[in-house]
Amino acid sequence: MTIADNDIIAEIRRQPEQGFRLLMRKYREPVYWHIRRLVVTHADAQDAAQEAFVRIFKSMASYRGNTSFAAWIYRIATNEALRLISKRHDNVDMEREGTNILDQMPADNYINIADTEAVNMQRAILALPPKQQVVFNMRFYDEMEYVDIADATDSSVAAVKTNYHLAKEKVKKAIIN
């Protein structure tokens, strides 16, 4: 049974450590995989996910409830992933077609290069501009509502829908080719 976000927030206010453990139990895997799809390597995803949760803990007092709790958490996680990518490339242009990091990565123990279908799918997503990657991943993998994606990416719902449609068409085209 999944605990409701409101109950987690109430528990954090009552007993911060115990409450935050409840938050982590619910969000540690979705947050990690969201970051992992963006940064690719396990080591980077681990660093960014851990840093994201520390930031979430420190920022708890600033959560006002005017967006969904999930959107707020994904926003912090996305920022952490993009910060890491930004460090890696010095400067990330959110609207520019990204270079494909998966092609530059040596296979490690946590990337199965032999799964060509899955690798090609990730290659197609990683070729998108970072903002389209974020929107596509949140909608396609995490099945988030457009309004939550809009809150998490500081965009309008219309912009999110457009970005998702564009991203989906590009990925589909890349997979077919």
Own/partner contacts of 17-25, CB < 8 Å, gap of 24 or more, are 20/57, 20/60, 23/56, 24/53
Candidate ranges 6-14, 72-80, 89-97, 110-118; the one touching another protein (CB under 8 A): 110-118
Phi, psi for residue 95 in degrees, rounded to 5: -105, -5
Identity (one letter) of the amino acid at 141? Answer: Y
Q: Does 63 help bind another protein (rule: CB under 8 A)? A: no
Cβ at position 119, least distance to another protein in Å: 5
Residue 111 backbone zone (phi > 0: left; psi -120 to 50: alpha; other: beta):
beta
One residue of 8, 26, 35, 37 binding another protein per CB under 8 A: 37
Cβ at position 141, least distance to another protein in Å: 6
Cβ at position 77, least distance to another protein in Å: 13
Task: With CA atoms as reference, report the closest residue to 130 among 171, 170, 84, 96.
Answer: 96
Return the number of other C-beta atoms located less than 10 Å from residue 24's C-beta.
15
Identity (one letter) of the amino acid at 109? Answer: N
Cβ at position 90, least distance to another protein in Å: 25
Site string for another protein, 65-104 (x = CB under 8 A): ----------------------------------------
Cβ at position 23, least distance to another protein in Å: 10
Alpha-carbon span 8 to 22, nearest angstrom:
6
Interacting residues toward another protein by CB under 8 A: 17, 20-21, 24-25, 28-29, 32-33, 36-37, 40, 42, 46, 49-50, 53-54, 57-58, 109-113, 115, 117-119, 121-122, 140-141, 168, 171-172, 175-176
